[in-house]
Amino acid sequence: MTGADRVLESSSEDVAVAVDAAVSASSAWAATSRSARASALRAVADALHASSADLIPVVDSETSLGTVRLTGELARTVHQLRMFADVVEEGAYLEVAIDHANPDSPVPISGDIRRWLIAIGPVAVFSASNFPLAFSVLGGDTASALAAGCTVVVKAHQGHPRTSDMVLGIARNALRACGVAEDVIGLVHGREAGRLLVSHPAIAAAGFTGSVAGGRALADLAHARPHPIPFFGELGSQNTFVVSAGAADARSEAIAEGLANSVLLGNGQFCTKPGLVFLPDSASGQQIVDALSDLIGQRPESPFLTQAVRDGFVVGTERLGDASGVTQLSPARTATAPSLWECDPGKLGSAVLEECFGPTAVVVRYRDQDELSGLLDRVDPALTATFHTEPNEKDFTTWLLGTLSSKAGRIVANQYPTGVAVTASMHHGGPSPSTTNSQHTSVGATAIRRFLRPIAYQNVAQELLPAELQDGAGAGVIRRIDGSLFF
């Protein structure tokens, strides 16, 4: 298909065909050895890396994110695929546990029990507008689902359909070349196709990155099915950023600069953007406000990812302009220019407490810990919460750490929340409303757990089970045997 004759809305028949293909490929992919699955993920990563020169201009033409950012995002996407290959190869994610029969124990075990995690089944992946590579066709959700042994049907984001088709082709060619059925990954386009996908009886789980409204609507569909499925939605997030009196005194200029960069990175189109900034009501707090206002107010406009994102930003900043107790600190410019606002601490309302996706942030000044405590009580949970404090403010920092920990999935100290490292220790998630499932992550190695379910085999002959579950070396996987962990 070329851009000209593309069908942007997959029909219900297209969706059915895509899911049927994913179902057909499902058993073989789930049964593929870990080493073969790791090889396939690496082959896909290599193919994506090799296609960089052809791919990036297409992505840029659809997203306006620029070559520098997209080159970095492609490297991250390749890294994610390779990281999950390593995860599969290591095998700890299987959570293998074996208890041998022990009829005489206090609670008798009548036959050997051998547990591990298996692929949950075909997964629907909803692409993100703001990560056309890292959270789209071959992004983190797809990589973790494929690693788990699940086949995937991606719902392309309408913001980058050509990118999506191109990446799909890269993936399917690479899979075919290493002897894997290309139907391990499929693609559909359009919102209605997305709804059909999450409602399809053969889809076993879904991963989503996007807006609160869109995510919640799909989560409702997933829950309303005759057989509900897990829906892992990474939704909007109004991320808190707190500066202590001491940090403002010590580092006002650096904090203003770091914060402005974090707010404006990628034109503010990151779910980890610090949108709600609590500053001390002090002279150095004022210095941060002034510097931040200058830095944000002087930043030229940048293009938005999509018309919908642009429109959402305009609506959000209009709501800020109309909200009681909210004033604009940066100079009034066009409706789409980066902006900084201030909210009276007595007037925290929904315009301020809800995320405005794009290059904007709201400052709130607090007099003391008591007032800050009351303000933080009103803030919704989020993906991240950041604080800047000084070493000599240990009591305040300890209190803040405890308070913010109840409200976020990642706590950042004296750094900035944008730029999510893809590692084993990363958690990218948070209590509702920032995600639909606070118990799992969409970034980092443990994201694979979303697409697995446990199964236990009782008294099943070992030779019928995979090596990981047999007595002996267990294919080199760490296991819990009769209660103790063994490498």
Give the nearer residue to a second copy in terms of CB position, either 74 or 305. Answer: 74
**Known catalytic residue: 234?**
yes
Strand-pairing partners, residue 242, are: 278, 387
414 binds a second copy (CB under 8 A): yes
Site string for a second copy, 97-136 (x = CB under 8 A): xxx------xxxxxx-xxx--x-x----------------
Min CB(117)–a second copy separation in Å: 9
332 binds a second copy (CB under 8 A): no
475 binds a second copy (CB under 8 A): no
Binding-residue total with a second copy (CB under 8 A) = 83
Min CB(356)–a second copy separation in Å: 20
**Site residues (CB under 8 A) for a second copy, limited to 183-242:** 219-220, 223, 227-230
CB 110 within 8 A of CB 103: yes
**Known catalytic residue: 271?**
yes
Whole-number Å distance between alpha carbons of 362 and 358: 12
CB 37 within 8 A of CB 178: no
Tokens of 94: 């299987």
**Site residues (CB under 8 A) for a second copy, limited to 271-310:** none
33 binds a second copy (CB under 8 A): no
321 binds a second copy (CB under 8 A): no
Phi–psi pair at 455, nearest 5 degrees? -145, 145
Which residue in the set 191, 458, 471, 473 belongs to the binding site for a second copy (CB under 8 A)?
Answer: 458
Amino acid identity for residue 16 in this structure: A
Q: Which residues contact 332 (CB under 8 A, 6 or more apart)?
A: none
Min CB(431)–a second copy separation in Å: 7
Strands 113-119 and 96-99 turn out to be antiparallel
472 binds a second copy (CB under 8 A): no
Using the structure block, give the residue that is written with the tokens 């969706």.
15
CB 318 within 8 A of CB 335: yes
CB 360 within 8 A of CB 304: no
Which residue in the set 17, 28, 401, 467 belongs to the binding site for a second copy (CB under 8 A)?
Answer: 401
Which residue in the set 95, 182, 257, 371 belongs to the binding site for a second copy (CB under 8 A)?
Answer: 95
Length of the chain counted residue by residue? 487
Min CB(72)–a second copy separation in Å: 9
Give the nearer residue to a second copy in terms of CB position, either 187 or 260. Answer: 260
Give the nearer residue to a second copy in terms of CB position, either 95 or 192. Answer: 95
CB 276 within 8 A of CB 469: no
Phi–psi pair at 2, nearest 5 degrees? -100, 170
Min CB(42)–a second copy separation in Å: 14
373 binds a second copy (CB under 8 A): no
Using the structure block, give the residue that is written with the tokens 């009548």.
110
Min CB(275)–a second copy separation in Å: 18
44 binds a second copy (CB under 8 A): no
Residue from 209, 217, 277, 205 nearest 242 by CA: 277
Catalytic one among 62, 73, 150, 271? 271
Catalytic one among 73, 234, 342, 355? 234
388 binds a second copy (CB under 8 A): no
Strands 382-388 and 185-188 turn out to be unpaired
Residue from 173, 169, 228, 160 nearest 40 by CA: 173
Active site residues: 234, 271
